A = this chain, B = another copy of it.
Amino acid sequence: MPSPLFNQLIHSLCCLPGVGKKSAQRMALYLIERDKVSAKRLVRVLAESIEKIDRCVRCRNLTEDLLCSLCGSERSNKGLLCVVETPADLLAIEQANCFFGTYFVLHGHLSPIDGIGPEELGFDELFKQLHEHDLKEVILATNLTLEGETTAQFIADKSRSLGKKVSRIAYGVPMGGELEYVDGGTLSLALDRRKII
């Protein structure tokens, strides 16, 4: 039976995504027994992150500064704005190293049942930016879920009414995907959106 404080530590580590009781116990033992230096650094950095990291005033990406590094930098293509649901989606696109425009992070999708409307997703700020900036195209990269599609549709309608070009990222069979193992919904979509070559 671990000590009460040790038990609390295990319990606190269980809040991490993908970490169950067994992994949390292993982590707790590692932090306390093997690597107190890293444990102390984790405490310090996490405390500082909780306090300082907030949303970029322009794109709502996570940052400890007023403007995030992407909004602050001289990106090659400021004419493209990519709208994503979460900072994780933004990071995924950045890590693919295939897009050099700017972003707008919604931090969710339209979901009236959960009380998430245009206000929570920062639509005011988004549409203000569409007005102000010399934007050539809005790329909608929300998820291909019912809520993601609805959100994309809402932004598309509004952007078009502001005279902006709007696009939606392509959906279909993923790279390396074997048809045998691809789900029916994706297959039907891929056939529907087929491209003449």
Contact = CB atoms under 8 A, between A and B. Distances in A.
A12 interface: yes
A189 interface: no
B50 A39 contact: yes
Chain A: interface secondary structure? helix
Nearest to A2: B91
Interface residues of A, number: 54
A27 B33 contact: no
Counted per complex, copies of this chain come to: 2
A18 B23 contact: yes
Given A23-B18, A91-B25, A50 B46 contact: no
A187 interface: no
Interface of A: 1-6, 8-9, 12-13, 15-19, 23, 25-33, 35-36, 38-43, 45-50, 52-53, 62-65, 68-70, 86-88, 91, 94, 107
18 contacts: A1-B94, A3-B62, A3-B64, A5-B45, A5-B52, A5-B53, A5-B64, A6-B53, A9-B46, A15-B35, A15-B38, A15-B42, A25-B88, A29-B86, A32-B49, A33-B87, A43-B46, A43-B47
